[in-house]
Structure 1
Amino acid sequence: MECCHAAVSSLSWTLIVGGVAYLLRQRRMCAPYGRYTPGEGWCCPAGLGWFVQEVPAFLLPLLLLLLPGEEASDPGRSEQSTGRTLLLCAFMMHYFHRSVIYSFLTRGRPVPVPIVLYAAIFCSLNGFLQGHHLLHCAHFERTWTTHARLAAGFLLFLVGMIINIHSDHILRSLRKPGETVYRIPHGGMFEFVSGANYFGEILEWTGFAVAAWSLPSFAFAFFTACSIGPRAYHHHRDYMQRFEDYPRSRKAVLPFVF
């Protein structure tokens, strides 16, 4: 058990340090994919790239979930299995949508191969971390505060996922098949922020962290905010420069704040 917690703690702190490093890097330049893709280098179709990079975060927790666990020999842990399994299924639900549904629907630009590989490594490590911690390390006390926190976290997660999916739909509807032009998005959370899809994803993993209440879930939520928060800011700045009639009241990623 001590080895388990040591590995989980090390991976979690790696995510936190990596999030800080990523944040500092993106202060100078945005990650080179999407509208910031350089003209040279190897790229793969957007749908294939998203599938390859995101699917490990779905498959690894699924594998851990299907493998025999400790519940059969430990009735005490079996009583907690529902909450832990629901949290893991919420995590997997996001990545099933991202790797299967979103990758099929996306009309984005080709993705540089190095970006796909780096993202696949991250999703593999994070998928293992969240799955292993929830199934083999996490412990939930049976109190009303725990139940209230789980309920609040799940609610935030679901609201964030709905915002994320709806915002992606709005962005896709701006283009016809084969187009790569940029237009001003309207509707939903885009009335408040330029990065509505990013706001939804940050809200998702914040809710996940509230529900799980653990170092790994906090580390993932922190890394998410550090990686896509600055990207939302760069998108916001690009919109403002690209379109003279862009709504000046919109913020970058946090409604009414930033």
Structure 2
Amino acid sequence: MERGGELCTAAVSLPALTCCTGGRKNSSMQCSQDMDFYLSSVLFITGLLYLWYCIGTPYEYGRYLDLQAKTTVLCPAKHGWFLQELPSFLVPVLLILHSPQPSSPGCKLLCFLFCTHYFYRTFIYAALTKGRPTPLRIVIQAVIFCTFNGFLQGHCMVYGTEYSETWFTDSRFTSGILLFFIGMGINIHSDHLLRKLRKPEELTYKIPQGGLFNYVSGANYFGEIVEWFGYAIATWTLPAFTFAFFTLCFIGPRAYHHHRFYLQVFPDYPKSRKALIPFIF
């Protein structure tokens, strides 16, 4: 993808997306696209760094956290999830509400999809979770990331992208929306199956069963990765594709470590299951 005046950051070579014409508006969008490009570059590099680190060492929360470590300040799971996910919902909403010019219907719809995921994460998943406490430093890191990414995705939709009416019938939009909702459905259903494994206040781990867990150890992660790649295809923007890549780099290795954990802890764990991608990996 090129950046700058020749191609919109968001998609770009087809007429589905159109750069603004006219002096000041065109210049403003150009600046917004430049900012989105640089912020996306930061997100891409961060994803590579997380992949490099997480392949060898699982990130220290959940089952990989030593609850006996006295030097670790812990945050209750419900509070931690709420605090860390809230910026990804709130920042795009505020950008839309305070935009000096109305966004196109396509931008509003796609930004709404992004916020829908984080509304679920912030207000529903956080309230229902039965997970272990999370180190406060991890929560703070997540708040910083979600603020950054919420700004990047929202800024791209509000200031850096325009969609023509034909975009709603474009195969990228329709296939991306379909993938988004399939991934979201897998993610929410898998979260539900994991919660059913635990009684209140119970912190032990059991073999997940049902749904896509019959095929992979990280069904919830697979669903979220599919969801964000679907969103990226539907928006056809550089920030969205970079975020999908970051998601793969961050939770893909976690699915791999979960798979190894199950194989080590449970002798009867199904050997036919893969880590993340059914029948493949």
Name the counterpart of 1:139.
Answer: 162
Q: For 1:65-116, what per-residue CA distance to the aligned partner results, in whole angstroms no more than 9, with x for missing partners?
A: 1114323xxxxxx6xx221111101100100110110010000000000100
Distance in 2 (alpha carbons) for counterparts of 1:3 and 1:137: 8
TM-score normalised by L of structure 1:
0.94
Q: Give the whole-Å Cα distance in 1 for the aligned partners of 2:99 and 2:217.
A: 45
Residue 115 of structure 2 is matched in structure 1 by 92
TM-score normalised according to structure 2 size: 0.86
Asked if the contact 1:57–1:123 (Cα under 8 Å) also holds between the matched residues in 2, the reply is yes
Unaligned runs of 5+ in 2: 1-27
* Paired residue secondary structure (1:27): helix
**1:29-61: per-residue Cα shift (whole Å, max 9, x none)?**
010000011232001100000001000000001
1:235 to 229, 253, 258: 258
Matched, 1:166 2:189: yes
Aligned residue number for residue 248 of structure 2: 225
**What is the identity percentage for the equivalent residue pairs of Structure 1 and Structure 2?**
54
Other-structure match for 1:46: 77
Q: Give the aligned partner of residue 22 of structure 1.
A: 50
1:215-257 deviation line (CA, Å, top 9, x unaligned): 1001100000000000000000000111111111111011111
The Cα of 1:141 is off from its aligned counterpart by 4.3
CA RMSD of aligned residues (A): 1.3
Q: Which runs of 5+ in 1 are unaligned?
A: 72-77
Given that residues 140 and 146 in structure 1 are in contact (C-alpha distance below 8 angstroms), is that contact kept between their aligned partners in structure 2? no
Residue of structure 2 in register with 1:109 after alignment = 132
Q: Of the candidates 51, 67, 72, which is equivalent to residue 98 of structure 2?
A: 67
1:255 lines up with 2:278 in the alignment:
yes
**Larger fraction in helix:** 1
Give CA deviations for 1:188-235 in whole Å, capped at 9, x if unaligned.
010111000000000000000000111100110000000000000000
Shift of residue 143 of structure 1? 3.9
Name the residue aligned to 1:196.
219
In the other structure, the counterpart of 1:212 is 235
- Is the 1:174–1:185 contact (alpha carbons within 8 Å) kept by the matching residues of 2? yes
Q: Distance in 2 between matches of 1:126 and 1:69?
A: 21
Q: Is the 8 A contact 2:106 2:168 kept in 1?
A: no
Structure 1 residue 4, shift from structure 2 partner: 1.4
